[in-house]
């Protein structure tokens, strides 16, 4: 299992390096594919799927909404168009709820919309961050915050972790591991900023800014990881899927990145002088 998990992780890192370096359509296409799979995994976990069928009307409308939203952010980042797309997805789900009543429960409709907002919309900030000025440098903070924190938290937790901070939700997580994950991500971010990004901002010192952003992103990455775990525990499932050998589904591997990406995007926009 370890070697399978390691091999899958290496493949994911290679894909991330290639697509984030290229940006543009390749990154958008890969992010869209991940978002569609994540949406399907979430609707399945939230019991929005119809038993015995691969897709029901709610899922189809949600998947179409994901495609429409990603098409929108490719052609424009105007807030009005983005909000209109989100509202139309909700209205489409409500329309399906009404015309097919009583086929679906209200909880299924809300779950379908929650799944749209949770994974696809939040993941789109990976692409949006890459499209920022100097996005080629900024986008890596998402990986540092999410996967860097996860690695550092695991190592510190294994070495000195004692105090269990979430004994019911995540028994293996320790307070020491959480602190180590945040500090580790901040340190990696600071080193990345000093050696790779500082030279791009001659009028602004960015090392400490990047360290701060990566640390803040690391906190959110743990929230994302725990939130995804809470959903699984609420619905008594072990993994969201089996797509990634050794990891589970897309939601099992990208749970932390989903929540981290918007944090990195907004802090980057607010703190950097582009």
Q: What confidence tens digit (pLDDT) does each residue in 89-146 have? A: 999 999 999 999 999 999 999 999 999 999 999 999 999 999 998 999 999 999 999 9
If asked whether residues 155 and 259 sit together in one domain, one would say yes
Using a pLDDT cut of 90, give the percent of the chain over it: 68
Of 117, 116, 114, 136, the closest CA to residue 126 belongs to 136
Q: Would the pLDDT of 51 be above 80?
A: no
Q: What local confidence, expressed as pLDDT, does residue 3 receive?
A: 63
Q: Would the pLDDT of 2 be above 60?
A: no
If asked whether residues 102 and 9 sit together in one domain, one would say no
If asked whether residues 223 and 169 sit together in one domain, one would say yes
Q: Which residues, at least 6 apart from 211, have a Cβ–Cβ distance to it below 8 Å?
A: 186, 187, 189, 190, 193
If asked whether residues 114 and 139 sit together in one domain, one would say no
pTM: 0.93
If asked whether residues 240 and 162 sit together in one domain, one would say yes
d(CA 125, CA 96): 28
**Mean pLDDT estimate for the chain:** 90
If asked whether residues 10 and 142 sit together in one domain, one would say yes
Q: Which two tokens stand for residue 181?
A: 């994950």
Q: What is the mean pLDDT of residues 51-55?
A: 66
Residue/partner pairs of 106-109 with CB below 8 Å, 24 or more apart: 107/47, 108/46, 108/47, 108/48, 108/58, 109/58
User: Among the three residues 90, 114, 130, which one is the final residue of a domain in this structure?
Assistant: 130
If asked whether residues 145 and 33 sit together in one domain, one would say no
Q: What local confidence, expressed as pLDDT, does residue 186 receive?
A: 97
If asked whether residues 176 and 250 sit together in one domain, one would say yes
Q: Is 183 exposed, middle or buried (0-12, 13-18, 19+ CB in 10 A)?
A: middle
Q: Would the pLDDT of 1 be above 60?
A: no
Q: What local confidence, expressed as pLDDT, does residue 185 receive?
A: 96
Range of the domain at 111: 24-130
How many structural domains are present in the chain? 2
User: Among the three residues 76, 100, 130, which one is the final residue of a domain in this structure?
Assistant: 130
User: Among the three residues 75, 104, 130, which one is the final residue of a domain in this structure?
Assistant: 130
Q: CB of 55 within 8 A of CB of 36?
A: no
Using a pLDDT cut of 70, give the percent of the chain over it: 95
Tens digit of each residue's pLDDT (9 = 90 or more) over 202-236: 777 899 999 999 999 999 999 999 999 999 989 88
Which pLDDT band holds residue 5 (cuts at 50, 70, 90)?
Answer: low
Which pLDDT band holds residue 16 (cuts at 50, 70, 90)?
Answer: confident
If asked whether residues 48 and 80 sit together in one domain, one would say yes
If asked whether residues 28 and 162 sit together in one domain, one would say no
If asked whether residues 162 and 252 sit together in one domain, one would say yes
If asked whether residues 137 and 125 sit together in one domain, one would say no
């Amino acid at each position: 299992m370890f070697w399978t998990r390691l091999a899958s992780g290496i493949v994911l890192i290679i894909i991330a390096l290639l697509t984030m370096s290229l940006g543009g359509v390749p990154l958008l296409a890969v992010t869209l594919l991940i978002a569609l799979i994540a949406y399907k995994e979430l609707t399945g976990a939230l019991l929005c799927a119809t038993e015995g069928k691969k897709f029901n009307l709610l899922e189809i409308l949600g998947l179409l909404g994901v495609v429409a939203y990603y098409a929108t952010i490719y052609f424009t980042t105007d807030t009005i168009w983005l909000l209109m797309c989100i509202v139309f997805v909700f209205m489409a789900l409500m329309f399906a709820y009404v015309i097919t009543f009583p086929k679906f429960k209200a909880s299924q409709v809300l779950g379908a919309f929650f799944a749209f907002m949770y994974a696809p919309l939040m993941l789109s900030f990976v692409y949006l961050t890459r499209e920022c000025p100097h996005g080629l440098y900024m986008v890596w903070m998402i990986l540092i915050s999410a996967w860097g924190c996860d690695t550092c938290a695991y190592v510190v937790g294994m070495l000195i972790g004692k105090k269990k901070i979430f004994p019911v939700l995540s028994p293996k997580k320790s307070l020491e591991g959480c602190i180590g994950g945040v500090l580790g991500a901040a340190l990696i971010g600071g080193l990345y900023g000093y050696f790779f990004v500082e030279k791009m901002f001659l009028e602004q010192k960015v090392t400490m800014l990047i360290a701060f952003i990566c640390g803040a992103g690391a906190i959110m990455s743990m929230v994302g990881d725990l939130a995804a775990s809470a959903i699984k525990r609420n619905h008594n499932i072990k993994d969201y899927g089996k797509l990634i050998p050794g990891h589970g589904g897309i939601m099992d591997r990208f749970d932390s990145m989903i929540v981290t990406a918007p944090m990195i995007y907004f802090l980057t926009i607010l703190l950097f002088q582009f």
